[in-house]
């Protein structure tokens, strides 16, 4: 059941943050564009929207800590955004370091490509990522459907559908390639 709020002439951020959870939407409506624009300048447009969502989730969780002496939540939100950017950059740096280590190691994809029939490799790369992940966890990872579901955090029925679709597409691909 939705909570209907009484209309307010000029709602302040402090009042909306201190009010019932549905009032938080007003804070999001007022400041989302400014936070997203700030983040886009810092991390680019691709990551900005995801980070903006993170900022508002964090703000919602920490809304009781907002200093009500201030009328606007914008500086507080941009502070949260700045910390989100730092976390994003740390994660990017860790990902880049991992990527560099992977590049320095022998390339298993190249080995797999050499070991696989080229038509099968092409068929696997043509599969949708979701279908390919489920199929390879089942076939190469030797996981049962239930284990694939657990690994991907999806229902078993979805795993069955994805593996069936992958098999059908691979069969069609290999049938047309030979």
Question: Average pLDDT for residues 14-18, to the nearest whole number?
Answer: 80
Instruction: Please indicate, yes or no, whether residues 132 and 98 belong to a single structural domain of this protein.
Output: no
Of the three residues 60, 81, 104, the one that is the final residue of a domain is: 104
pLDDT band at 100 (very low <50, low <70, confident <90, very high): confident
Residue 7 has pLDDT above 50, yes or no: no
Return the structure tokens found at 56: 């508002």
Q: Give the model confidence (pLDDT) of 46-96 as tens digits.
A: 899 999 999 999 999 998 888 888 888 888 899 999 999 999 999 988 888
Q: Residue 77: exposed, middle, or buried by beta-carbon count in 10 A (0-12, 13-18, 19+)? A: buried
Q: Residue 176 has what pLDDT?
A: 60
Instruction: Please indicate, yes or no, whether residues 100 and 167 belong to a single structural domain of this protein.
Output: no
Residue 169 has pLDDT above 70, yes or no: yes
Q: Which residues contact 128 (CB under 8 A, 6 or more apart)?
A: 165
Comparison of pLDDT for 35 and 178, the residue scoring more: 35
Written as one string, the DSSP assignment of 123-151 is: HHHHS-HHHHHHHHHHHTS---HHHHHHH
Residue 109 has pLDDT above 70, yes or no: no
Q: Residue 81 has what pLDDT?
A: 94
Q: Give the model confidence (pLDDT) of 132-163 as tens digits.
A: 889 988 888 888 999 888 888 899 999 999 99
pLDDT band at 30 (very low <50, low <70, confident <90, very high): very high
Q: How far is it, in rounded angstroms, from Cα 96 to Cα 13? A: 39
Tell which residue, 21, 15, 11, 9, has the closest CA to residue 66.
15
Q: Residue 28: exposed, middle, or buried by beta-carbon count in 10 A (0-12, 13-18, 19+)? A: middle
Instruction: Please indicate, yes or no, whether residues 98 and 166 belong to a single structural domain of this protein.
Output: no
Would you say how long the chain is, in residues?
A: 178
Domain holding 94, by residue range, is 13-104
In a domain, 147, yes or no: yes
Instruction: Please indicate, yes or no, whether residues 87 and 115 belong to a single structural domain of this protein.
Output: no
- In this prediction the pTM is 0.52
Residue 4 has pLDDT above 60, yes or no: no
Q: Residue 99 has what pLDDT?
A: 73
**Total number of domains constituting the chain:** 2
Instruction: Please indicate, yes or no, whether residues 53 and 95 belong to a single structural domain of this protein.
Output: yes
Q: Residue 9 has what pLDDT?
A: 39
């Amino acid at each position: 059941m939705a909570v209907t709020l009484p209309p307010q002439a000029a709602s302040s951020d402090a009042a909306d943050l201190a009010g019932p959870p549905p009032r938080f939407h007003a804070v999001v409506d007022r400041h989302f564009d400014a936070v997203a624009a700030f983040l886009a300048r810092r991390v680019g447009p691709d990551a900005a929207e995801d980070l903006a969502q993170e900022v508002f989730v964090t703000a919602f969780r920490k809304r009781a800590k907002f200093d009500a002496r201030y009328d606007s939540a914008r500086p507080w939100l941009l502070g949260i955004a700045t910390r989100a950017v730092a976390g994003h950059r740390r994660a990017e740096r860790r990902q880049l370091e991992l990527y560099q280590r992977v590049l320095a190691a022998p390339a298993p994809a190249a080995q797999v490509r050499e070991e696989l029939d080229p038509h099968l490799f092409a068929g696997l790369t043509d599969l949708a990522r979701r279908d390919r992940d489920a199929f390879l966890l089942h076939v190469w990872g030797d996981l049962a459907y239930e284990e694939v579901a657990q690994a991907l955090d999806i229902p078993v029925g979805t795993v069955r559908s994805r593996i069936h679709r992958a098999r059908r597409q691979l069969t069609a691909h290999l049938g047309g390639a030979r």
